[in-house]
Amino acid sequence: MPDRIWEALYELAAAAPLLDDPRLVHRPMRKIVESMLDQGFQRPATGLFVRCPVCDSEIGQICINVPRHTLDDPVHPERLALSRTILMEAG
Ligand SMILES: [Zn+2]
Protein backbone atom coordinates (compact mmCIF):
# COMPACT_ATOMS: atom_id res chain seq x y z
CA MET A 1 0.00 0.00 0.00
CA PRO A 2 2.74 2.59 0.74
CA ASP A 3 4.01 2.12 -2.82
CA ARG A 4 0.62 3.16 -4.20
CA ILE A 5 0.57 6.23 -1.97
CA TRP A 6 4.04 7.31 -3.14
CA GLU A 7 2.92 6.65 -6.72
CA ALA A 8 -0.14 8.87 -6.20
CA LEU A 9 2.11 11.57 -4.73
CA TYR A 10 4.32 11.43 -7.83
CA GLU A 11 1.23 11.93 -9.97
CA LEU A 12 0.14 14.90 -7.85
CA ALA A 13 3.63 16.42 -8.07
CA ALA A 14 3.56 16.06 -11.85
CA ALA A 15 0.12 17.69 -12.06
CA ALA A 16 0.87 20.58 -9.70
CA PRO A 17 2.70 22.81 -12.23
CA LEU A 18 -0.44 22.80 -14.38
CA LEU A 19 -2.41 24.63 -11.69
CA ASP A 20 -2.60 28.39 -11.20
CA ASP A 21 -1.61 27.90 -7.57
CA PRO A 22 0.57 24.78 -7.14
CA ARG A 23 0.64 25.39 -3.37
CA LEU A 24 -2.87 23.92 -3.35
CA VAL A 25 -1.16 20.59 -4.06
CA HIS A 26 2.17 21.00 -2.28
CA ARG A 27 0.75 21.88 1.12
CA PRO A 28 -1.41 18.74 1.46
CA MET A 29 1.38 16.67 -0.13
CA ARG A 30 3.75 17.77 2.62
CA LYS A 31 1.17 16.75 5.24
CA ILE A 32 0.73 13.33 3.63
CA VAL A 33 4.50 12.77 3.45
CA GLU A 34 4.94 13.84 7.09
CA SER A 35 2.13 11.53 8.09
CA MET A 36 3.73 8.63 6.18
CA LEU A 37 7.05 9.28 7.94
CA ASP A 38 5.32 9.49 11.34
CA GLN A 39 3.87 6.05 10.68
CA GLY A 40 7.34 4.67 10.02
CA PHE A 41 7.28 4.47 6.23
CA GLN A 42 10.47 5.44 4.43
CA ARG A 43 10.32 7.95 1.61
CA PRO A 44 11.68 6.91 -1.80
CA ALA A 45 15.22 8.23 -2.36
CA THR A 46 14.28 10.29 -5.39
CA GLY A 47 14.75 13.70 -3.78
CA LEU A 48 11.19 14.75 -4.51
CA PHE A 49 10.03 14.14 -0.96
CA VAL A 50 12.61 16.26 0.86
CA ARG A 51 13.01 20.04 0.81
CA CYS A 52 15.80 21.08 -1.57
CA PRO A 53 18.91 22.45 0.19
CA VAL A 54 19.86 24.38 -2.97
CA CYS A 55 16.70 26.09 -4.24
CA ASP A 56 14.34 25.57 -1.26
CA SER A 57 11.76 23.73 -3.36
CA GLU A 58 9.11 22.21 -1.14
CA ILE A 59 8.28 18.54 -0.81
CA GLY A 60 6.66 17.50 -4.08
CA GLN A 61 7.85 20.57 -5.96
CA ILE A 62 10.36 20.16 -8.78
CA CYS A 63 13.55 22.21 -8.46
CA ILE A 64 14.07 25.61 -10.03
CA ASN A 65 17.21 26.95 -11.67
CA VAL A 66 19.57 28.89 -9.44
CA PRO A 67 22.94 30.37 -10.43
CA ARG A 68 26.00 28.07 -10.20
CA HIS A 69 23.94 24.90 -9.68
CA THR A 70 23.39 22.37 -12.42
CA LEU A 71 19.81 21.28 -12.97
CA ASP A 72 19.55 18.57 -15.62
CA ASP A 73 16.90 16.56 -13.78
CA PRO A 74 13.68 17.47 -11.95
CA VAL A 75 15.69 17.75 -8.71
CA HIS A 76 19.14 19.14 -7.86
CA PRO A 77 21.89 16.51 -7.36
CA GLU A 78 22.36 17.84 -3.80
CA ARG A 79 18.69 17.15 -3.06
CA LEU A 80 18.98 13.64 -4.44
CA ALA A 81 22.09 13.05 -2.32
CA LEU A 82 20.29 14.37 0.77
CA SER A 83 17.37 12.00 0.29
CA ARG A 84 19.78 9.06 -0.19
CA THR A 85 21.63 10.03 2.98
CA ILE A 86 18.36 10.20 4.92
CA LEU A 87 17.35 6.77 3.59
CA MET A 88 20.73 5.26 4.49
CA GLU A 89 20.60 6.74 8.00
CA ALA A 90 17.08 5.36 8.45
CA GLY A 91 17.94 1.98 7.11
ZN1 LIG B 1 16.56 22.33 -5.91
Distance 82 CA to ligand 1 centre (A): 11
Tell me the pTM: 0.84
Distance 77 CA to ligand 1 centre (A): 8
pLDDT in tens, 4-38: 999 999 999 888 889 899 888 999 999 999 999 99
Q: DSSP string spanning 19-81?
A: SS-THHHHHHHHHHHHHHHHTTPPPPTTSTTS--TTT-PPTTPPP---TT---SSSS-HHHHH
Distance 5 CA to ligand 1 centre (A): 23
User: Is the predicted pLDDT of residue 84 greater than 90, yes or no?
Assistant: yes
